[in-house]
Structure 1
Amino acid sequence: MGLLDGLLGNASESDAQSIQQELAQLLSSGEQVQKAYAIIRDLIIFTNKRLILADKQGVTGKKVEYLSVPYRSIERFSMETTGHFDIESELKIWIRGQAEPLSKTFRDDKSIHDVYRALGEYAL
């Protein structure tokens, strides 16, 4: 169900070890991937030192933009769950020095709760 969840916009937990290998050249010495979630082609990655958002671009997804956010820079975060007519939930993360929050859209409440809980574990 993980692939189908990803295609539908639901976050599915990814294997931290495979993400560790994929990001080996980006990670600092001693940095370990703790949790990772895939949303369609994008990734939300929690390491022991920072939050990494990987935005895969283009048709093939070969071009990737990585946004690295130290946990100490996260000022606050919020979650908006789905409703009767609104089928998308949204996660917002405010970063020190930026006026607008980072925003990720999810298609179900279960997956956003998992990511929100992980964000709370690492950022607080």
Structure 2
Amino acid sequence: MIDFENMAFLKLRPVTDSRLSEQVAPLLCPGESIEQQFQGIRDGIVFTDRRVIAVNTQGFTGKKKAFVVLPYNRIQAYSIESAGVMDFDTEMKLWFSGLGIVTFELIAGSDLSSLARLIGNAILT
């Protein structure tokens, strides 16, 4: 199970391969589309046009997976922090009603502006 007391996903890099897409495809609603995907060492995050889906790979073989769905309509606020000269990571924090803060640490060069537009559009409409 994903630790909700320590909801930090670290060192995520953007991916375009279909591995995460295939894992979350059974969870998608009709008409829902994947906007961006990020992969860590074993875990991944998928941003759709309606929600965030966190994939936590468990066990020695990695066959066991836990999925946590975080709908955009539960986001109360968000923040983004770009990479600096000596800092190679960017960061996005999402404040979820009833859950708390979820932190995504992305490698520098991730498209934070389109991610912020996606979240902003979802919570403002």
Could you tell me the TM-score, scaled by structure 1's length?
0.68
Structure 1 portions without partners, runs of 5+? 1-8
Confirm or deny: 8 A CA contact 2:35 2:48 kept in the other structure.
yes
Decide which structure has greater strand share: 2
Deviations 1:35-84 (A, max 9, x none): 13122243322334322122223444322221111211011111112223
What is the CA RMSD across the aligned residues, in angstroms? Answer: 2.7
State yes or no: 1:115 paired with 2:99.
no
Give unpaired runs (5+ residues) of structure 2.
1-10
Within-5 A mapping of 1:93-104: 93-98=94-99, 100-104=100-104
2:44 is aligned with 1:52: no
Question: TM-score, normalized by length of structure 2?
Answer: 0.67
User: Highest relative contact order (Cα 8 Å, sep 6+), 1 or 2?
Assistant: 2
- Pick aligned residue for 1:12 from 14, 39, 43: 14
Taking a change above 3 Å as real, the CA distance of residues 78 and 26 of structure 1, as seen in their structure-2 partners, is: same
Aligned partners of 1:27 and 1:106: how far apart in 2?
Answer: 24
User: Alpha-carbon deviations, 1:65-113, whole Å to 9, x = none?
Assistant: 2111121101111111222333222111100012x310111220x3151
State the alpha-carbon separation in 2 of the partners of residues 55 and 115 from structure 1.
21
- Shift >6 Å, 4+ stretches: none
